[in-house]
Structure 1
Amino acid sequence: MFDNPSDMEPMFPKRSGDLVDLAMEVHREAAALRNSLHKKTRKRIADLVRHINSYYSNLIEGHHTHPSDIERAVRKDYDLDSEKRSLQELSTAHIEV
């Protein structure tokens, strides 16, 4: 599949150009948003994003874990069904990582 280790290295845009300018603008706007939010609000948003990332990580791997099941797992309220519980445990592992 891959013949050379460089085939798996990340690709970076050129140091100048529209894409880099756009990336820097996103970075500036994100910093402004972060600074405009209260510390507790930022923490809560970060927690929610971790849960969302867990949902999509599972989905990419072919595992459909309903968001409400992820929220239950975070509260240690695991399902009795072993398959569902396994997916919940996978979700919490993604969040912890």
Structure 2
Amino acid sequence: MQMSLLVELLERMSVMATLAFVLSHTTAFRRLVDYEARHRERLLLTVIFGFIGIVGTYAGIPVNDALANSRVVGVMAAGLIGGPLMGGVAGLIAGGH
């Protein structure tokens, strides 16, 4: 039971890792990391990180009347890379969905 849960979660996380890899090669993301991002780019990346959080919710696996999901990954990435405001708004997007 536990091993199959781990395999399923890793399978779903690989989709999000692929999204993160593609995202990391965009100009907007590189500008954000270099502290040169414009407001429009920051807003776009916030929405994308919120979307990654939503994908993490839908990729959840039911376990004993609960849902094991990885919604927090997109939100944490937004907060760590873009700061608390970006992480908070991405969390509102993912949580509000």
The structure with the largest alpha-carbon Rg is 1
Considering the TM-score relative to the shorter chain, is it more than 0.5? no
The normalised TM-score by structure 1 is 0.30
The normalised TM-score by structure 2 is 0.30
Q: Which has the higher helix share?
A: 2
Larger RCO, structures 1/2 (Cα 8 Å, 6+ apart): 2
